[in-house]
Structure 1
């Protein structure tokens, strides 16, 4: 060992690079480990040539010179140096691992080599090797040889030391067994996380996902959680330093910094964002891009000539019949979204109540959809309606369709890729995958194979197009304050009780999205915020409609049905659907029962 004196450095920082123990060749943590260094290795501040770099763990220095191992009881083993410096590694006869440095061996080196780690394990007291852990009912035995197995605590297969149960088939990593009962995670710094050895029973009514990696939380595995904020994390994820691996975040490498970022701030911002998508699709299809719009156009969706209008234009004959409210807001017959006269340039028909945004007027009749191929546009009269396969909302605007799908021009214009705050990766358009569900509304996608979703295939994260377009902030007549879109339950801090929907009175699944007002503690399920959202893309008010069937003697009016009433033709409930109504006669029929539904057998009006 040398004749120089050794100095004990306990938790004392030592200037210099990381060092290794000369006996076990394992690194020495100079801030934590107790270790010895040679007294003569520093002379007047400069290292000597003989003892420079001589460091030794205190535990290694206390090893006995001889030791009788249970596997070799016939004679004691002696502490020795490696027989040859040319031999880089020796193989331990106990753990079969390769090691460097000192060893225990018989006088004949070739017979037996035992590494210092195995000897240290045998020398430790029994209370260290056998342990009662609150996460298991039986005593656990420490196996200090690294092994590859699936841990019952963290469900990973990393190679590590382990505790095993000799009574039942139970294995956990030593690092999991040593996990603290409470932990302050960088991903949830409002409250300390509490370790639980399975998903708490009071939270098992819903499916939960890790707040760090976003993957499913298995109820039988250990979990860190904050009950007040509904934050859950896998045992390994809670202590990780990064939300995801750098190679796992593809946004920086995608080269698409101009992706559509969602959610939009509010409904007005969303409408403008959708108009931008429509304009982008229109300009991409135009061969000759004109800076100034034409004052008059003939549009393929309408039989009359359309004139350009804006807020500074002279009033037309239609202005004489408009109310003050009409002059502030019109409905586009293309995308069925509002036209704000204060800042929009639009086209109108001087003969009838027909209006188009400038972008909708320039939208081409034929486009190429990323998933559905070529789509052709058409516009019928007021009572011909369809269900968009993008957002699943019923509409009577311009339809882009082929034999397999139909879209409103807003959904037909959506980009193939978007970026949403709910997921760290870019989301791509997919046809509804089998055996999956929307992570926003927690609804299964079975039976919606023609529909389009946005998702991340590598993470199994999918959301409906309608859910992806939900704005961050909405107003509701039941609350004087704006409601905020809650993407993660931990966004509402210190909320110990359950979330109940004000509309349906059912408990909200906090693993999905919902709207919430923290001031009033008011919550809405994402699908209950507006029960008539499914007809929000309809332009109602058309009158004197008779349809294909002369089933009623009077002209009918296109209205949303907000009462429990049955169709006079098919007998089915008409609540929440567009209907043709005769108020004096108390007569209603489904609009698609007398009109031209945009496909055979009315299949676009299924669930």
Structure 2
């Protein structure tokens, strides 16, 4: 079927010459157009790159040989959006779609088609950049879609659509005879299934691989040895590695994982490793830990900790791992190097450790050396260390949780800080934050936590790059290592969502994906559920309510909330008073904004006077914006003669509005 000359557009199209200046987007691929290109003769805003206009309706792509790719105006999904399976960018423009679920931008499909056909002359219009040219995209170093090495290492193609490829990867042969898989040739392909590499056992998210369709086998480009490779020299290991020219199963001495193909041997050290492990950095600095980590082929006897700080599975002391000599902790090689953005290579063993500046200045210490009088840089007065003597009426101004441990307090203004919150540094790097920039400690600024989603104006860490903010509760809960929960007998550990432990339901609220999980039983909690205070007060009862994780009363009439008078799930956590037999939903006890400091000032409004954050309990004046009663958190004018009062939601940005996940 031949496409008409207007390429599916209702009006005729004109070809614009190279000397004509155009500022518009292509109606097929969405990228900026430049002449020569096609435009609508009726000037309705329709433009096409010449290459997009001439794109075939059906493409038999060599990298995807079993099904044709069909050019469609919209992806055949409910909302028409799709994610390109090669550049991983979301779009709703024209798409090359396969019945097996493969989707490609036009430019990604045509660019890789020319690569597969070795039509490098067709890429003359694509800029070939020198390795010294910076290729940083935002905060991330751009990577080659073929071998996943940094583009700064080699000369590379950099097309407008953001699909980048080394020149050497553009010249990869379509077929390859591999000495360890002789029965069939290996074909360069997209690995759309996706399958794990037979050499390193890692499943690559996207990019080129060599594969055998008949045997369901793929091999990463970087894992394959060069055809004439006899030895591998690397500065990170003091000796030369030689490839073993036989297919034998082995355990890599560098990372502890199984290998089947292509072992590399150091005859001096009597070790056998994967090819990629020949270049493992000896020293790294990871976001998971404050000190440098050293690669060891076996753990010394002084290391008593045998569990990885990331996956919490045992680290085999007889095989390679990364360890910290200061803290006696270990990491699996794959866990700590899985995300290239989460670590950096340290070149010198005697390089200075990163210094974290303390938030406090110590004024007095006791005989045990404990700081008893301090000055915190976020508070104007001195703070004194006080023991916890009972009572939950005060909250920490750092994390907004009730004071329950040894804490610092101010005798002049009623300011409280947990000892752990006070000792957090001014600046820190967080392993769970995607940006490469450090985060700075801030206070008294309303924000939405990027981890738990709660609104607060207490202490937080703000990224110096993207300005995202993370509350102290999440910073502390996500600190690597075991966490103690008073509602569970075993310690809890953080598991990333793709790990098996992090796929269950939260025991507190019943929603999926509790990330703090128990290794010994099927128990897991969300970050915000983990941070729930054990004791809380509410107007529905004169006593303090206790957080309860089960309801022993089988009488269904008792399964209701005494605050909102609606039913509650007896299998979900709630607050209860044993003296009065009063029960309440978690959300009913705390409301929508449990971590806003009442009585503090909020100035980011159009009102001429500063506003005070209040929570009305007994009388409900009408909001000056929407005229409805102010029953929950509101902003009240700090000047007594001005009767201005508004709901929090009526004057604050939508990004500072709360949501609820707890079942009512």
Is the pair's TM-score, using the shorter chain for normalization, greater than 0.5?
no
Q: Which has the larger radius of gyration?
A: 1
TM-score by length of 2: 0.35
TM-score by length of 1: 0.37
